[in-house]
Amino acid sequence: MRILISAGEASGEMYGAQLMEALRGTLHHVGTGAHTRPAEQSSAKLAQPFFFGVGGTRMRDAGCDIVVDAQELSVVGITEIVGHLPKIWRLFHRLIAEADRRKPDLAIVIDSPAFNWRVARQMKKRGVPVVYYVCPQFWAWRQGRVRLLRKYVDKALVIFPFEEKFYRDRGVNAEFVGHPLADLARPAVTREEYAAQHGLVSSKPWITLMPGSRVKEVRMNLPEILRAADLLESELEFIIPVAPTISKSVITELTQSRHTVVPIHLVSDSLPALAHSRAGIIASGTATVEAAMMELPFVMVYRVTPLTYLLGRWTVKVPHFAMVNLVAGEEVVMELVQHDFTAERVASEIREIIPDGPRREKVIAGLRRVKQLLAGEQDRNLHPAPRAARSIVQLGAHRQLSENR
């Protein structure tokens, strides 16, 4: 079975790697006939899928033949995308040409709507069934674009509990499968081991800084985050997990351009940093969910270009920017966006949530509630990726039965 899979940024390719492994496991069980329904058994011949498409290191390590590297698609914002259109268009045509050569049996697109809805459209035109995993957040803005999912997507697998009803009410075949990060376990590495690995002092409080997974995000967010770090107490230590879609040199350039000397430790994995830190300063995105899973109090920050903000502010239709606040239905963590995102306000909020007390306890209680909501009520013993894989296999089986009738 040939599967085109397209994930254009760090979080998407992490979910893609998880889904690839889950699909292999699910199709293996189908192939052996273990615990399968008759409809699923018709997909037995589809075991051992071959994946190709758009991704990064994680998906490559999981066995995907990378046609377009996700780093090449790392742009953000309306005006930024316009500036990169020639490059994006070239990469898009490279992927479609490869799809025409390999003729996939299924296409799975993950997040990155600016690129992936066009992939979905081209695959649908070629008669290839399309699954959208981690759907675009059209409920937040540009709700009219839901028509794209109705027209080009056979199945929408959504990861936030409120999304299923939103999309189903608008005619999309949507299913909530749980958030892929909902059952993240705390890393096994101890605080002392982690400190020794990265030159940290285990007796000091650590603050994790996560400026984003795309170059433009990092350049917009990191300088002010670093200014906030410089305003905080000297006994703190600061960690920046470098996203796999970002070159370490980008982070190094920005950290070394500062006039102060608060040490910044660059690491490769975010979860140990989040698990062992006292607080975080985290850009809006998947990293905020990772922090919630580790029950780490944090401040959410974000900044885009003035023109992007001006064009987007009139179309945003949600009461919160931070995903944990949207899921909870209230402000669990402080949001500092655009003009409110200043080093002074960030530092002030971090000082509020570092010490033990009612404020910190309230934030942690809210994050625990978000964890429960993201896991979903059904199949609690099954990770969201296998749930998604099972739904994809069922979709393929039903299509086969329909074609055979």
395 against 143, higher pLDDT: 395
- Cα–Cα dist 203/17, whole Å: 35
Confidence of residue 401 (pLDDT cuts 50, 70, 90): very low
Angstrom distance (rounded) from CA 121 to CA 125? 6
Instruction: Quote the tokens at residue 388.
Output: 């998604």
Alpha-carbon torsion, ordered 50, 54, 57, 62, to 10 deg: -20
Query: Between the CA of residue 37 and those of 30, 185, 350, 404, what are the distances in Å?
Result: 9, 31, 52, 17
The residue type of 403 is E
Percent of the chain exceeding pLDDT 70 equals 84
Q: What is the mean pLDDT of residues 130-147?
A: 81
SS3 assignment, position 297: coil
In the prediction, which pLDDT does 174 show? 94
Q: How far apart, in whole angstroms, are the C-alpha atoms of residue 188 and residue 175?
A: 32
Instruction: Please check the confidence at residue 403 and state whether its pLDDT lies above 60.
Output: no
| Cβ–Cβ under 8 Å, residues 142 and 315 | yes
Predicted pLDDT at 316: 60
Separation between Cα atoms, residue 3 and residue 49, nearest integer Å = 7
Weakest-pLDDT range from 126-130, 233-237, 348-352, 390-394:
233-237
- pLDDT tens readout for residues 277-320: 999 999 988 899 999 999 999 999 998 777 766 666 655 666 77
Among 2-16, 55-69, 300-314, 382-396, the range scoring the smallest mean pLDDT is 300-314
Residues 341-354 pLDDT 10s: 999 999 999 999 99
pLDDT band at 78 (very low <50, low <70, confident <90, very high): very low
The better pLDDT of the pair 184, 159 is held by: 159
Q: How confident is the model at residue 9 (pLDDT cuts 50, 70, 90)?
A: confident
pLDDT at residue 77 in the model: 45
* Cα 77-367-197 angle, rounded to 5 deg: 80
Averaged pLDDT of the chain: 85
The confidence score (pLDDT) of residue 43 equals 45
**What's the pLDDT score for residue 20?**
95
